[in-house]
Amino acid sequence: MNQSGISGNLIEEQGVIRENGKTIFFAWDSSNSPTDAQTGITKGIGGLSDLPFDGDFLTICQPVSSSSEQPGGNPEGQTGRRGFFKAALVVITGGIAVLAPMAAGLMVLIDPLRRKTGAGGAIKVTTLEALPDDGLPRRFPVIASKTDAWNKFKESPIGAVYLRRTSDGKVEALNVVCPHAGCFVDFVADDKRFHCPCHKSSFEMDGTIADPKSPSPRALDSLTVKVDAEGAVWVAFQNFQAGRRDKVPIA
């Protein structure tokens, strides 16, 4: 706030300066007369006296306490720090309020990925009546309810097996997947062997490697078979990782 000429012609300008929480009045006089200038300021600003004077610039150094100040003083730095911490607290609280529901939603989204997927358990593949007892393997699809991370598909193909009845009346099951690179093998009745069309691996009817030069690291993967009282053939179907010497199930 600046005012001009409040007391005669001596005091040409006066105003208020606020610095570090203090209110300071000032006045400028062009007459260079300390007595006249001080008299004019005293009359115009409210009875303050003993004003230091230096040339053309007068400063009234007596501070006027503002209504917001407390006894003993309250440095502006402390107020600034309190304001900073309050603002930081608001930001942190707001961030937590936003991130908490986001984290909960993310957990709901990825929860299915933590569950084991697949058909699980033994699956009915065929019946003894549909499997000739000539000792040759026959290929059957494996149909089951398929479950992935988010969906369940009823009665979908999940793989295939070769079944054959042995001379002692048992049933053997082999996974059709070649352990080398995951291709489906074919049974060639002329030479009574399984052949992989991808990389030329060959296997005997019982699944063992027929040619030592075959690139497959292991024999065809055998599966557990059970025939129930009604003659249904149940297979504990499982896929295994390709390219390994040992059988590692695929979860």
Is the predicted pLDDT of residue 232 greater than 60, yes or no? yes
Is the predicted pLDDT of residue 11 greater than 50, yes or no? no
Which has more pLDDT, 41 or 121? Answer: 121
- pLDDT tier for residue 88 given thresholds of 50, 70 and 90: confident
So what's the pLDDT on residue 49?
44
Lowest-pLDDT range, 36-40, 97-101, 156-160? 36-40
Which has more pLDDT, 86 or 171? Answer: 171
Percent of the chain with pLDDT over 90: 41
> What integer best gives the mean pLDDT of the chain?
74
Is the predicted pLDDT of residue 218 greater than 60, yes or no? yes
Which has more pLDDT, 95 or 246? Answer: 246
| pTM of structure | 0.53
How confident is the model over 105-159, as pLDDT tens digits?
666 566 555 554 444 579 999 999 999 989 999 999 999 876 655 666 677 888 9
Q: What is the DSSP string of the chain?
A: -EE--SBTTTEEEEEEEEETTEEEEEEEESS--HHHHHHHHHHHHTS-----EETTEEEEEEEE--TTPPTT---HHHHHHHHHHHHHHHHHHHHHHHHHHHHHHHHHHHGGGGS--S--S-EEEEEGGGS-SSS--EEEEEEEEEE-SS-EEEEEEEEEEEEEE-TTS-EEEEESB-TTTSPBPEEETTTTEEE-TTT--EE-TTS-BS-TT-S-SSPPPEE-EEE-TT-EEEE----B-TT-SS--B--
- pLDDT tier for residue 92 given thresholds of 50, 70 and 90: confident
For domain 123-235, which architecture applies?
3-layer Sandwich (2.102)
Lowest-pLDDT range, 50-64, 184-198, 212-226? 50-64
